[in-house]
A and B are shown apart, each in its own frame.
Chain A
Amino acid sequence: MNDEHLNSEARAAEQFDALISSAQAGQTDSESDNGGITSFVEWAGSIHPDPIYAANLEQQLRARYPAKRRHFVRWTLAVAAMLAVVVAISVLIRQQNVTPAEESTPQTEVVVVQPTATISATMLPSATTTATSTVTPTSSPVAIAATTTLAVEINATLSVASNSTQQAGYQMTTIAIVSSVTPTPSANTTFSEWHVIQVTDPHGLPVLGANVSVYGENTVTQLVTTANGTAYFYPQVYGANDPDFHVVVSQGNAIASFELERGVGESFWSVTLEATPVQPPVPIDILFLLNFNGNAPTSEFAELTAWIAAQSVPLDARYALVAGTQIVDFTRDIEVFSSALGNISALSGSLDDRLAAAINGVNWREDPAIKIVIILTDHMEYGNNSYALVAGSAAREGITIHVIAPAESLASLGPLTQITGGQMVELESNEAAFGLGKAVINLVSEELAALSGS
């Protein structure tokens, strides 16, 4: 497709968009109509919800207000109580900071980098959390260690005064957050509460691969955003009982934070991050987890690779495979992968164990990338791993798990897709050969659609 053709299509798209706008505004002009869009838009505008349903819903929404106010009052009291505790602890800690060193291990190490510099640092509420920094130039040691002392100084502005002229002139350039804690999700999972954290850049585009660190009293979990810039946080998956959370979102030098209030059901949070979008070729890791009795889907894989090769946005695709006890690590070589796929046998096994191998047993990209597990399964066998635990591990790596399975298996696999923001696709066995390839392509396509600006 040459540039002239693309320009022509772009002009047509501009005109078409203007036509829809005028049709929606009731300014119909049949002379310039594009094949009946006006009548179609009019038809679309004629669709209304059932008036009885609409009226009932309005009443239902109004009725929710009193309960909400009571809820608000409860939370207000709870927050006030918490603030009182925090203030009390802060006072105690400040008193501790002036006690002799032998009575209290130094709580904070701050090497000053610039006279009267003010560093807006988000100190994290974890005994094992350390914030480090780099400086330009790097000849002077600089470190900020956040320990339990600073645990209560969430979001505080840390004013740093110089204690040495030798160290003057250096500017803190980044604040990286490192946690030695690797929280383990709880196996006793209920999903009565979840938070959708959407990270976008200043232009509104989703940020892939942003680190989303959630802190309560301790580190709760660290998640990574997927192609649509979203991280799903299920507090109960991680056994978090904190009354609220502090969330730090970062990518490279960009960092933002907010307070996340607990709630019931679904809550939406949006964060704008001064992040750099992923540049083409778009990195994408696709792992197939095969867990069924039958032939390997070689033709469907060929269908997928042909589709990927035909995309206008260049993709840097890698493929991996977990099938039975066999693991093929990520490779860009389609022939190598196809050969491995054609030679697999004994696909069946316990799915949870295979999935644990898929998340932890191959080399996923560490840089921001679209990371997808596509599970093709036709039955369930239970092994030693909890699905919720494994899904929690996937969410920490920014891996989205999609499941293509028969109806009887899907119910058990819900947590996998819920926790990672994936999709469940029901596979009807008689039609598997007919629709499987398209289903896989659709799943990959939707991931790319979320990210691509083309």
Chain B
Amino acid sequence: MQDATLAQRAKNDPAAFAELYRRHVDHVYRYLLLRTGNVDDAQDLTTQTFIAALENIARYRPQASFHLWLLGIARHKVGDFFRKERRILPLEMVEDVPHPGPLPDDMVSQSLQVERIVSLLQNLSPERAEAFILRVFGELSAAEIAVIMGKSEAAVKMLVHRAWRDLRQHLEPIGVEEST
């Protein structure tokens, strides 16, 4: 069943919304994790995003992509988060903060990789980083990102391409291996 149909049913049917939740929670969480760099914050914002989606489900219009609509809410939530939780200046200092030693747990290992990538993303221009995170972690198409960022599709493709070009110089040392 398509998202739009489920969203229509979700106005009165918890099971329909639960199905939408299961389909999209990974993408929303990944996007928020990469924007915040922190598991607790990402979980909190994921919760807020889905609660807002549930409360606003009657306002969702089937003509639009549900995924795009949901990521739009997540984007607003993370904007609020930065307003309320404050950003720390200067961002350049983030890279110099020593990380704790590696622990055997996979989740911790993944968190460390996320932290490093977040710190690397902060060296990119804000719009390159945003476009890249939405494309790779939110799994939005370039056309969908164009709508959400208010840019042309070609501009989004260029932003993602350039973000990767800047980012990949730093990837190998953190364990995300390049394929050959």
B22 CB–A CB distance under 8 Å = yes
| Among A10, A49, A426, A442, contact of B86 (Cβ-Cβ < 8 Å) | A426
Q: A428-B88, A428-B89 are in contact. Are A37 and B164 (CB under 8 A)?
A: yes
Bound complex: CA of A20 vs CA of B164, how far in Å? 11
Q: A40-B136, A64-B51 are in contact. Are A204 and B147 (CB under 8 A)?
A: yes
- What is the interface size of chain A, counting residues whose CB is below 8 A from a CB of the partner? 83
B43: A residues at CB distance < 8 A: 49-50, 53
Q: Determine whether the beta carbon of B127 is less than 8 Å from that of A446.
A: yes
Bound complex: CA of A273 vs CA of B160, how far in Å? 29
Segment among A54-62, A134-142, A233-241 that sits at the interface with chain B: A54-62
Bound complex: CA of A318 vs CA of B88, how far in Å? 28
Bound complex: CA of A280 vs CA of B143, how far in Å? 23
B4 CB–A CB distance under 8 Å = no
Interface centre among B22, B51, B89, B125 (most CB of A within 10 A): B89
Segment among A175-183, A248-256, A366-374, A416-424 that sits at the interface with chain B: A416-424
Bound complex: CA of A410 vs CA of B85, how far in Å? 10
Q: A13-B161, A48-B29 are in contact. Are A267 and B86 (CB under 8 A)?
A: no
B105 CB–A CB distance under 8 Å = no
Overall SS of chain A's interface: helix
| Among A20, A414, A454, contact of B136 (Cβ-Cβ < 8 Å) | A20
| Among A28, A64, A206, A404, contact of B54 (Cβ-Cβ < 8 Å) | A64
Q: Determine whether the beta carbon of B161 is less than 8 Å from that of A423.
A: no
Distance in Å: Cβ of B80 to nearest Cβ of chain A: 8
Q: Determine whether the beta carbon of A454 is less than 8 Å from that of B150.
A: no
Bound complex: CA of A39 vs CA of B171, how far in Å? 11
B87 CB–A CB distance under 8 Å = yes
Segment among A145-153, A324-332, A431-439 that sits at the interface with chain B: A431-439
Q: Determine whether the beta carbon of B113 is less than 8 Å from that of A44.
A: no
| Among A47, A205, A229, A435, contact of B90 (Cβ-Cβ < 8 Å) | A435
B42-61, CB < 8 A from A: 42-43, 46-47, 50-52, 54-56, 59, 61
Chain A 247-279: CB-based contact to B (< 8 A → 1; otherwise 0): 000000000000000010111111000000000
Q: Determine whether the beta carbon of B178 is less than 8 Å from that of A57.
A: no
- What is the interface size of chain B, counting residues whose CB is below 8 A from a CB of the partner? 76
A53: B residues at CB distance < 8 A: 43
Bound complex: CA of A407 vs CA of B114, how far in Å? 26
Chain A 187-226: CB-based contact to B (< 8 A → 1; otherwise 0): 0000000001000100011100000000000000000000
Overall SS of chain B's interface: helix
| Among A33, A40, A58, contact of B18 (Cβ-Cβ < 8 Å) | A58
B91 CB–A CB distance under 8 Å = yes
| Among A43, A268, A435, contact of B113 (Cβ-Cβ < 8 Å) | A43
B86-100, CB < 8 A from A: 86-93
A438: B residues at CB distance < 8 A: 89-92
Q: Determine whether the beta carbon of B14 is less than 8 Å from that of A62.
A: yes
Q: Determine whether the beta carbon of A453 is less than 8 Å from that of B155.
A: yes
A34 CB–B CB distance under 8 Å = yes
Q: Determine whether the beta carbon of B83 is less than 8 Å from that of A418.
A: yes
B6 CB–A CB distance under 8 Å = no
Distance in Å: Cβ of A426 to nearest Cβ of chain B: 4
Q: Determine whether the beta carbon of A450 is less than 8 Å from that of B149.
A: yes
Q: A10-B154, A445-B127 are in contact. Are A48 and B26 (CB under 8 A)?
A: yes
B35 CB–A CB distance under 8 Å = no
| Among B80, B107, B157, contact of A17 (Cβ-Cβ < 8 Å) | B157
Q: Determine whether the beta carbon of B50 is less than 8 Å from that of A61.
A: yes
A452 CB–B CB distance under 8 Å = yes
Q: Determine whether the beta carbon of B91 is less than 8 Å from that of A16.
A: no
Q: Determine whether the beta carbon of A57 is less than 8 Å from that of B50.
A: yes
B179 CB–A CB distance under 8 Å = yes
B158 CB–A CB distance under 8 Å = yes
A442: B residues at CB distance < 8 A: 126
| Among A196, A410, A454, contact of B155 (Cβ-Cβ < 8 Å) | A454
Q: Name the residue of chain A whose CB is nearest to the CB of B139.
A: A24
Q: Determine whether the beta carbon of A269 is less than 8 Å from that of B158.
A: no
B22: A residues at CB distance < 8 A: 58
Q: A47-B29, A57-B46, A229-B150 are in contact. Are A435 and B114 (CB under 8 A)?
A: no
Q: A30-B179, A36-B168 are in contact. Are A452 and B151 (CB under 8 A)?
A: yes
A206: B residues at CB distance < 8 A: 150
B164: A residues at CB distance < 8 A: 16, 34-35, 37, 40
Q: Can you list 15 A-B pairs, Cβ within 8 angstroms, ordered by A?
A: A10-B158, A13-B161, A24-B139, A34-B164, A40-B164, A47-B30, A50-B39, A206-B150, A267-B55, A268-B72, A410-B86, A423-B83, A424-B83, A426-B87, A428-B89
Which residues does B use to contact A, with CB under 8 Å? 12, 14, 17-18, 21-22, 25-26, 29-30, 33, 39, 42-43, 46-47, 50-52, 54-56, 59, 61, 72-73, 76, 79-80, 82-84, 86-93, 107, 110, 113-114, 125-127, 130, 135-137, 139, 141-142, 146-147, 149-152, 154-155, 157-158, 160-162, 164, 168, 171-172, 176-180
Which 10 pairs of residues, A with B, have the shortest CB-CB distance? A435-B90, A36-B178, A13-B157, A13-B161, A449-B127, A435-B89, A204-B147, A426-B86, A49-B29, A16-B161
Beyond A13-B157, A17-B157, A431-B93, 12 additional contacts (C-beta under 8 Å) are: A37-B164, A57-B21, A60-B51, A61-B18, A64-B54, A205-B150, A269-B59, A426-B86, A438-B91, A438-B92, A450-B150, A453-B152
